[in-house]
Amino acid sequence: MAMNHYLKPNLESSPNEVILHIGTNDLKTREPKAVAESIVDLARQIESTCDTTVTLSELVCRKDKLDQAVKTANKHLKKFCHQNGWKLIHHENISHSGLNKGGLHLNFKDKSKATGLDKISARLIRECADLICVPICDIFNQSISQGTFPDDWKYARITPLYKQGDRGDANNYRPISVIPIMAKVFERIVYEQLYAYLEEHDILCQNQSGFRANHSTVTALLEATDSWAYNIDNEKINGVIFLDLKKAFDTVDHQILLSKLNYYGIHGKSFRWFQSYLENRTQKCSVNGSLSSSYSLTCGVPQGTILGPLLFLLYINDLPNCLSNCKPRMYADDTHLTYAGSNLENVQFCLNEDLENVFNWLQANKLTLNMTKTEFMLIGSRQRLNTLTASPTIRMNNTQVSQVTATKSLGVIIDAKLDWYSHIEKLTKKIASGIGALKRIRHLISASALHLIYQALVKPHFDYCDIVWGSCGNTRRDELQKLQNRAARVLTFSNYDADATELLGFLGWKNLARLQEIHKATMMVKCLHGLAPRYLYSKFTWRDSAYDLRDSEIKLNVPLPRTNYYRKSFSYNGTTLWNSLPRDMRNTESLGLFKHKINDIL
């Protein structure tokens, strides 16, 4: 079959060499020696068909019960190759089956990815994946074994993207960096190995949520607001400093980064590889199709790369070690420090002490703060804040940090009383503007296009972090619900007095309260099944069912809040929501199946 349907058409072109790369699925039903013999028979058949050199490739090692069978088959292949004078390709570092995993490496799902300065497109690589995977694999392995990253993959094309403000001011543009596609393929593989090592040895700071599996802005904000509410419930006031690092990614010192990699266990060839990866990098700026001359990058993690963000996490990973009092929360370079105290004097002293520690750490690591954007906020109950007669003085390096009553963090506006008034006000304006735009264009486009634009431009505002600000209260939630009703009327060309509940049902939409419950229940499942950060799932404990009470299993211990602040927290209402679910829902192991069920019952 292989000769007739795959190899024969290729052999008709009389290639100089045929490399046989065989899968491992046959080992599920056949003995390793029999599989090896079949491969050898196929190689002999090829040799008898045409004057072609045959090269065999080892079977790729697996991480399951077939791993030992693969190793045994490879021993037989090695023996047969020696007897027949065939070359055997070893894959000790990276396997070309790994390169061809769907969507991750050579088989790009998105063939329109931007092309680097080498002009090799993702489409070309995808179409030629079967032909180039073996030599590419060998190049990658040679790079790792020699501790050298190819210079041709260090060139980046920078395109300035306008943000806002004066178009003549270069500071109002965001640089978009594009590196060669093949460099991204290579970096993805190294990233997976490095990240697995960091996770296995628990090296990354637990309070870091950026660029990590099962972490997100939602989990980061949930943990922060939950902890603030817990402190308020214990009659404390939260002093929070929101740090703004100035061009943090672009000012990373390479020698300091390399010393930290060495400290975290990156030695030998691996260390030399990262050293080579960082040095001799250049980039060109592209404007209206014209390229500037190249210029070297002597600091900063490479922008637009796969490894860059992870290297940055390692660079700032030890920042929490300099703190004496505060609890840090980080999302990449977005960092804030919290100290909860019973009186303002204590809060002021502890924050200032840690700010001095942070200043010294920043100097040692050649990073700087943007003091105009670094802010300080007191977060507490309405009653406690109203009784304050003075404000603490917070300074860093003799510069006073400005105090605010609301600030934006990870896309959500946080206010001093955690009532979400400022965020909902901003949200309603954005959503109303989007719905207005839909109304103006609905007569010009098809119904399906109208729905797609709603899903892309309006719905994300309703959904983003809704389980964080969902405790805003009925009055503010009603304001948002009216906007969802208005959107339904616009999309269905209905009058303003049409029944909103019927329209939502017709469109297959759930109202905002139900959507938030679904999102909250889904996050609870992630927490209880290890699909969320440790800082979240550690907030929940299973109820002791020793008394064998009816329906007592698979339920959680409910916290005992003293104030409405903690009663609105994720720790409390997430627990009560989970305990209220039907038993078969709480028994569901699959996240996908749970999502299906929860959509049916809510």
Quick: pLDDT tens for 233-253: 999 999 999 999 999 999 999
Confidence of residue 101 (pLDDT cuts 50, 70, 90): very low
Alpha helices by DSSP H, listed for 147-238, are: 181-200, 217-233
460 and 213 Cβ atoms separated by less than 8 Å? no
Q: How far apart are CA 220 and CA 203, in angstroms?
A: 19
Q: How far apart are CA 70 and CA 23, in angstroms?
A: 10
Answer with the residue of higher pLDDT: 469 or 46.
Answer: 469
Give the pLDDT of residue 176: 87
Instruction: Identify the burial level of 40 via C-beta atoms within 10 angstroms of its C-beta, where 0-12 means exposed, 13-18 middle and 19 or more buried.
Output: buried
Q: How far apart are CA 313 and CA 333, in angstroms?
A: 8
Number of helices and strands (H, E) in the chain?
Answer: 26, 17
CA distances from 301 to 284, 292, 335, 363, 496 (A): 16, 21, 18, 18, 53
Would you state the structure tokens that stand for residue 161, as one six-digit string? 């993207």
Would you state the structure tokens that stand for residue 72, as one six-digit string? 């045994």
Per-residue pLDDT tens over the stretch 12-26: 555 556 666 566 667
Distance of CA 23 to the CA centre of its chain: 32
* Beta bridge partners of residue 159, listed in sequence order: 176
Distant-in-sequence, close-in-space partners of 105: CB < 8 Å, separation ≥ 6: 98, 99, 185, 188, 189
284 and 157 Cβ atoms separated by less than 8 Å? yes
Distant-in-sequence, close-in-space partners of 602: CB < 8 Å, separation ≥ 6: 510, 514, 517, 518, 521
Q: End-to-end CA distance of the chain, in Å?
A: 53
Give the pLDDT of residue 4: 43
Q: How far apart are CA 483 and CA 468, in angstroms?
A: 19
74 and 105 Cβ atoms separated by less than 8 Å? no
3-class SS shares of the chain: helix, strand, coil, % to 5:
50, 15, 35
378 and 416 Cβ atoms separated by less than 8 Å? yes
* Class of domain 17-89 (CATH, top level): alpha beta
Q: Is the pLDDT of residue 90 over 80?
A: no
Distance of CA 5 to the CA centre of its chain: 42
Query: Of the ranges 141-155, 444-458, 540-554, which one carries the lowest mean pLDDT score?
Result: 540-554
Confidence of residue 2 (pLDDT cuts 50, 70, 90): very low
Single out the residue of 126, 131, 98 nearest to residue 111, CA to CA.
126
Q: How far apart are CA 125 and CA 119, in angstroms?
A: 11
Confidence of residue 538 (pLDDT cuts 50, 70, 90): very high
Q: 462 in helix, strand or coil?
A: helix
Provide mean pLDDT across the span 311-316: 97
Q: Is the pLDDT of residue 508 over 90?
A: yes
Query: Of the ranges 72-76, 222-226, 583-587, 594-598, which one carries the lowest mean pLDDT score?
Result: 72-76
For 278, the enclosing helix (H) or strand (E) is helix 268-278
CA distances from 437 to 301, 487, 494 (A): 40, 11, 16
Answer with the residue of higher pLDDT: 549 or 30.
Answer: 30
CA distances from 364 to 138, 299, 300, 422 (A): 40, 15, 16, 37
Q: Is the pLDDT of residue 54 over 90?
A: no
Confidence of residue 91 (pLDDT cuts 50, 70, 90): very low
Answer with the residue of higher pLDDT: 209 or 290.
Answer: 209
Q: How far apart are CA 163 and CA 316, in angstroms?
A: 27
Would you state the structure tokens that stand for residue 338, as one six-digit string? 């919290």
DSSP state of 583: H
Give the pLDDT of residue 104: 38
| Residue at token pair 């001095």 | 356
Provide mean pLDDT across the span 422-431: 97
For 252, the enclosing helix (H) or strand (E) is none
Distant-in-sequence, close-in-space partners of 138: CB < 8 Å, separation ≥ 6: 89
- Report the C-alpha dihedral over residues 36, 40, 41, 44, rounded to 10 degrees: 180
Provide mean pLDDT across the span 290-296: 87
Provide mean pLDDT across the span 402-415: 96
330 and 210 Cβ atoms separated by less than 8 Å? yes
Q: 413 in helix, strand or coil?
A: strand
Percentage of the residues of the chain whose pLDDT score is greater than 90: 61
Q: 306 in helix, strand or coil?
A: coil
Give the pLDDT of residue 532: 96
Q: How far apart are CA 228 and CA 377, in angstroms?
A: 12
Instruction: Identify the burial level of 48 via C-beta atoms within 10 angstroms of its C-beta, where 0-12 means exposed, 13-18 middle and 19 or more buried.
Output: exposed
Q: How far apart are CA 503 and CA 489, in angstroms?
A: 7
Instruction: Identify the burial level of 59 via C-beta atoms within 10 angstroms of its C-beta, where 0-12 means exposed, 13-18 middle and 19 or more buried.
Output: buried
Write b or e for each residue in 70-102: b if 16 or more Cβ atoms lie within 10 A of its Cβ, otherwise e: bebbbebbeebbeeeebeebebeebbbbbbbee
Distant-in-sequence, close-in-space partners of 524: CB < 8 Å, separation ≥ 6: 540, 574, 577, 578
Provide mean pLDDT across the span 154-159: 91
Backbone angles phi, psi at 463, to 5 degrees: -85, -35
Overall pTM > 0.85: no
Confidence of residue 97 (pLDDT cuts 50, 70, 90): very low
Provide mean pLDDT across the span 309-323: 97
Provide mean pLDDT across the span 581-601: 90
Give the pLDDT of residue 390: 87
Q: Looking at this protein, which amino acid is placed at residue 262?
A: N
Q: How far apart are CA 438 and CA 435, in angstroms?
A: 5
| Residue at token pair 């290729």 | 10
Confidence of residue 92 (pLDDT cuts 50, 70, 90): very low
Neighbours of 223 (CB within 10 A): 21
Per-residue pLDDT tens over the stretch 220-232: 999 999 999 999 9
341 and 237 Cβ atoms separated by less than 8 Å? yes
Q: Is the pLDDT of residue 159 over 60?
A: yes
Provide the mean pLDDT of the chain: 87
CA distances from 574 to 44, 517, 550 (A): 65, 9, 22
Backbone angles phi, psi at 531, to 5 degrees: -110, 20
* 182 φ/ψ sector (left φ>0, alpha ψ -120 to 50, else beta): alpha
Q: Is the pLDDT of residue 551 over 80?
A: no
